[in-house]
Amino acid sequence: MVTDMKLEELIDINVLQEVQDIFAKSTGVAAVTVDYEGKPVTNPSNFTDFCTELRKNPKWREKCYKCDAYGGIQSLINREPHIYKCHAGLYDFSVPIVIDNNYVGAILGGQAKLIDEDECDEKTGAFGKLSKWSGEKLTKCYNSIGQKKFEDVESAAYLIYKISTYMVEHKFVNMVKKELLDTQMKLTEEESKRRNLEKVLKESELKALQYQVNPHFMFNALNTIQNLAYLEDAPKTQDIIHSFSDLIKYSLRNEDTKTTYVYDEINYIKSYMNIQKARFGDKINYSIDIDKKYYDLKCPFMILQPILENFVKYVVERSVDTAEINIKGYESGNDFVLEIMDNGEGISTEKIRRILEGYDYKNKGQSTGLYNINQRLVDLYGKEYGLQMYSANFKATGLITSIKIPMVEVKNNV
């Protein structure tokens, strides 16, 4: 497998710089990315005048570097973002970039004052003794720094953590797949080894699905946040940031599982569609009609997101009218059915056959998400639970997609 990886090999630095700049401007925190040796690979984004001025002094600059090193070590030890108070009295965070147990770099950020500082002592680390910096210019710059809540800094840290993880994971999965395919060519005559390879490939495909919040959606979401931050002073921007953070945290929380609960999927979809509503406004409408008694029913993880992503790509972005999608859930015998219906142009019967049989995926690299849903349903529950897609009147009544799940694992006797 891939070893001795470098950050530059796993990520497009120019794209990373763009994402980092948008992130810093949208959240109001500073950010810079460093490699595993602590060397910057991006230019600093949104650094405060105070920190820029402070680092002009060799004495304070050395302490700033030690703070950065401390944060990096703590985040690497915990394998998650670490928030701490720096020597100058501001709150910083360090986000580790780890892939396949290899530490390849970190994103350092923050430079913020906390409104609720007194309540956060147990939640944050402390670099050490505070420095007694002074000077009229430094004081003026320090006083100009706005205050934030701890949860806003924490959300920003986890947001850039997930984005950076996605970017390197996406490239890494492709590298792994290439190696697996190369290996497959050498194992065609060894049946037992071939089966083991197929198992690894399936796991890789599931991993790829978890990171299928593709760059197109991610960059649009960040640009939406940036534009809202510029145009207005808080509420909608906070709503979008929280929706995106919830979306990111959900994906992170379920990295090693194949199933979740209907309740969690609904919350994920609401966050996803909240962001799309911010992008498209009245051009997009959606509804969810699922009785709460089904919320504790187990279902495959991220089973709806690829369907909604296709809806945005092929219906919303191509339509001049209002695009609508409705999600409802109901019992059918011993099964629970999720039915998703849109008002797009629909899909021909032949196209549906090519999608579900994997022809488009294997020969054209298309319809990966829908094919993956079908395969996971079959793998989990059997052939009779494969994905159902139907256009009652092609180019007239849109597409109906049905997901059938056996009602066997339900909490609270639902």
pLDDT by residue (tens digit) across 66-91?
A: 888 888 888 888 888 999 988 999 99
93 and 233 housed in the same domain = no
CATH number at residue 114: 3.30.450
Asked if residue 58 belongs to a domain, the reply is yes
- In three-state form (DSSP H/G/I as H, E/B as E, the rest C), the secondary structure along the chain is CCCCCCHHHHCCHHHHHHHHHHHHHHHCCEEEEEECCCCECCCCECCCHHHHHHCCCHHHHHHHHHHHHHHHHHHHHHCCCEEEECCCCCEEEEEEEEECCEEEEEEEEEEEEECCHHHCCCCCEECCCCCCCCCHHHHHHHHCCCEECHHHHHHHHHHHHHHHHHHHHHHHHHHHHHHHHHHHHHCCCCHHHHHHHHHHHHHHHHHHHHCCCCHHHHHHHHHHHHHHHHHCCCHHHHHHHHHHHHHHHHHHHCCCCCEEEHHHHHHHHHHHHHHHHHHHHHHEEEEEECCHHHCCEEEECCCCHHHHHHHHHHHHCCCCCCEEEEEEEEEECCEEEEEEEECCCCCCHHHHHHHHCCHHHHHHCCCHHHHHHHHHHHHHHCHHHCCEEECCCCCCCCCEEEEEEECCCEHHHC
Predicted local distance difference test score (pLDDT) of residue 414: 34
The number of distinct structural domains making up the chain is 2
Asked if residue 179 belongs to a domain, the reply is no
Predicted local distance difference test score (pLDDT) of residue 412: 41
Last residue of some domain: 109, 133, 157?
157
Last residue of some domain: 116, 142, 157?
157
Predicted local distance difference test score (pLDDT) of residue 2: 38
142 and 223 housed in the same domain = no
Asked if residue 194 belongs to a domain, the reply is no
372 and 270 housed in the same domain = yes
123 and 240 housed in the same domain = no
Torsion of CA 100, 103, 108, 113, to 10 degrees: 80
Asked if residue 142 belongs to a domain, the reply is yes
Predicted local distance difference test score (pLDDT) of residue 129: 75
Asked if residue 169 belongs to a domain, the reply is no
pLDDT by residue (tens digit) across 198-209?
A: 665 666 566 555
Q: Token pair of 131, please?
A: 């420095």
Predicted local distance difference test score (pLDDT) of residue 283: 92
Asked if residue 187 belongs to a domain, the reply is no
Q: Residue 359's domain spans which residues?
A: 213-413
217 and 363 housed in the same domain = yes
Asked if residue 180 belongs to a domain, the reply is no
222 and 326 housed in the same domain = yes
Query: In order along the chain (414 residues), what is the average pLDDT of each group of 10 residues?
Result: 63 85 88 84 92 91 85 84 90 87 86 83 70 90 90 89 80 69 65 61 60 56 65 69 73 65 92 88 93 93 89 86 92 94 87 81 71 87 90 70 81 38
Q: Between vectors from CA 147 to CA 146 and to CA 152, what angle results, nearest 5°?
A: 120
Asked if residue 338 belongs to a domain, the reply is yes
CATH number at residue 299: 3.30.565.10
Last residue of some domain: 136, 157, 178?
157
Predicted local distance difference test score (pLDDT) of residue 49: 93
324 and 392 housed in the same domain = yes
pTM exceeds 0.85 for this model = no
40 and 150 housed in the same domain = yes
